[in-house]
Amino acid sequence: MHIISGGESGVPTCACDFAKKYQIPMGGYCIPSGLNQDSIDVSIKYNLTKLPDHLMEVSFGLRSVVVYNVKCSSHLLVLHTSETPYREDDFLRNLLGPLGMNGSIAWNVAFENNKESLSLNLNDPFCEIAERFIDWVSWGHVDSLCVSGPSEDEIQSIYNSSMLFFERMIEEHPEFMKDEFSAIIPENSPKYELPLLGGKQKKPSIPKEPMLIKESHEEVIEERPQPKTPTSTDFPVLGGKQKKKNLYFDR
């Protein structure tokens, strides 16, 4: 199996980076200039083919690469989240749904061309989406897999969420990824850590040592306030409440 992607920002770029990291065969069409939304020349970085100008469809424009990538693949995988991508046009926002522009185009093209398609909500529990993905790939005889979904402009951090899914598949189902994707997994490969936005690295949390029950009990006893010494201005408890004497009128 090999991965097909156009290198657009978001999910497609994540698929290319993942395939390149684990030496999974990949290919696909990119826009004629070769540059994606992040001004990265994906034609060189991922060895993608620039879509000829005469194949650019007027109705899709630069997104024609999505159409041809789906057509030249046997199956389609769309990754998304529960969040609806941002759009200034509310009608277009509701029409596209959580798949985004690229994901919606890819889904419709796959339907029109009788391509097997699978959409995974990355907000669902990993064990559920991993089981669906494994069953779909195992029984679908996938030869070439087109990966699509929202862009980073539509869903912030969709790249990180998609990469976390792929890396967990490598970590928890390495034999499946080796057999189906021909992934080359190095021994003792470091666990993928989700990067934070703004270039800051998340510090690992250090678990605190558990406190003994005896020590905790003693600590609570030491910090317990001492009972207040009654004064002449206090009356006995009446009805469960403490009543305070008025020094000026209760004489």
56-103 per-position pLDDT tens digit: 776 666 778 899 999 999 999 999 987 765 555 554 555 566 788 889
User: Is residue 214 one of the residues assigned to a domain?
Assistant: no
Mean pLDDT by 10 residues, the chain (251 residues): 90 94 92 69 87 74 85 93 61 62 90 93 93 91 92 87 94 92 73 44 43 45 51 48 47 44
- Return the pLDDT at 197: 37
According to the model, what pLDDT value does residue 190 have?
Answer: 52
What's residue 35's pLDDT? 67
pLDDT digits (tens, 9 = 90+) for 111-131: 999 999 999 999 999 999 999
DSSP-assigned letter for residue 173: -
Q: Is residue 34 part of a domain?
A: yes
Note down the domain range covering 180: 2-195
Using DSSP's 3-state secondary structure scheme, residue 77 falls into strand
Which CATH number does the domain housing residue 54 bear?
A: 3.40.50.450
Asked if the structure places residue 202 within a domain, the reply is: no
**236 occurs within a structural domain:** no
How many domains is the chain built from?
1
Please indicate, yes or no, if residue 36 is contained in any of the structural domains. Answer: yes
Q: Name the region of 151 (left: φ>0; alpha: ψ -120 to 50; beta: rest).
A: beta
Residue type for position 238: L
Q: 109 lies in a domain?
A: yes
Q: Six-digit token pair at 15?
A: 């698929």
Query: Is residue 140 domain-resident?
Result: yes
pTM of the full predicted structure?
0.70
